[in-house]
Amino acid sequence: MRDADVACDVARSLAGPRPAVEWRRALALLTRRSDGLMVEALREDPRFLERRQELRALAGTIAALPWRKVRRAMVERAMTASKRRVEKARKRAVKSPSPDRFHTWRRRARRLRMQLELWRTIGRAGDTPTRSRPHHGKTEIKALSKLSDALGRRRDLLALHEVLRGLRGGERMEPLLARIRAELASLDRLD
């Protein structure tokens, strides 16, 4: 479901404000496919909306956790471990590229970015080392954000490519597939 929705969004962005005939056809097919998958998912899982409400209720439980017991050294150890996991995922993705390995790299980079952003926010609000250095971590956060966006874009383009290849009339999709491959080539130097 997510990939079908993303395929629609990515196709719209690639097609531009005045899509060519090929893109209009592809967009219609992609939208129909995405809508069908959503209807099917809701039919198969009528508790979907109920579970979303349960997740919202869990947010209150999380807020009630003993956050005051968290110490600076604990946070710094967690961020150091996250940095190691990001680097390890990067090496694996570069050494043996696969969609799963790039996705793991992206998730780990995004998690580290969120940790750094939170730490920076806490530093501005309290008495931590980042308070005296307001720009501490800002460059790293921006770099991780850019990396995460590029990895996400790569994944979305690959998903769109696969969906378009599977649609009827594949030979008419070749110009669109070529455009997607060109976009992917521009993202090949992520390491």
Query: Token digits for 165?
Result: 């290849």
Say how far apart CA 106 and CA 40 lie, in whole Å: 29
Say how far apart CA 176 and CA 162 lie, in whole Å: 12
pLDDT in tens, 49-102: 788 789 888 988 988 889 888 888 888 899 899 999 999 999 999 899 888 999
Q: 61 lies in which domain range?
A: 2-186
Say how far apart CA 28 and CA 169 lie, in whole Å: 13
The answer to whether residue 111 sits within a structural domain is yes
The answer to whether residue 191 sits within a structural domain is no
Model-level pTM? 0.68
Note whether 4 and 41 are within 8 A (CB): no
The answer to whether residue 141 sits within a structural domain is yes
Query: Token digits for 120?
Result: 């920076």
Query: Domain total for the chain?
Result: 1
Helix (H) or strand (E) holding 54: helix 48-63
pLDDT in tens, 89-127: 999 998 998 889 999 999 999 999 998 988 888 777 665
Q: Nearest Cα to 117, choosing from 74, 167, 75, 77?
A: 75
